[in-house]
Amino acid sequence: MTETVIKAATEAAAEEDVAIDEELLEEAQRHLGTSSRNEAINAALREFVDQQRARRRAALQDLRRLSDEGAFKYDALDEVDE
């Protein structure tokens, strides 16, 4: 991220009334082993994004496996186009 993007995001957040569940944040800090609020939030966001990426990778692998096993009838698409 560039400093400009970070600065814009920080300014936008400062303009909004951001409510954070303090108990949830404290628990996240304990589980993540972070010492600051910002560090905990960034670690939690990173973990969330990593999990979503892993889910998408697994779904793509499943689709490729199904395709390799012949689960999709691509010839039927040619018939529809005619």
Question: What does the pLDDT look like over 6-59, one tens digit per residue?
Answer: 666 667 666 677 889 999 999 999 999 999 999 999 999 999 999 999 999 999
3-state secondary structure of 71: coil
pLDDT at 76 over 90: no
User: What pTM does this model have?
Assistant: 0.64
Do 72 and 66 touch, CB atoms closer than 8 A? yes
How far apart are the C-alpha atoms of 24 and 65, rounded to whole Å? Answer: 39
Query: What's CA 16's distance to the chain center, in Å?
Result: 23
Banded model confidence at residue 82, pLDDT cuts 50, 70, 90:
low
* CA distances from residue 66 to 36, 37, 46, 52 in whole angstroms, order as listed: 45, 43, 30, 21
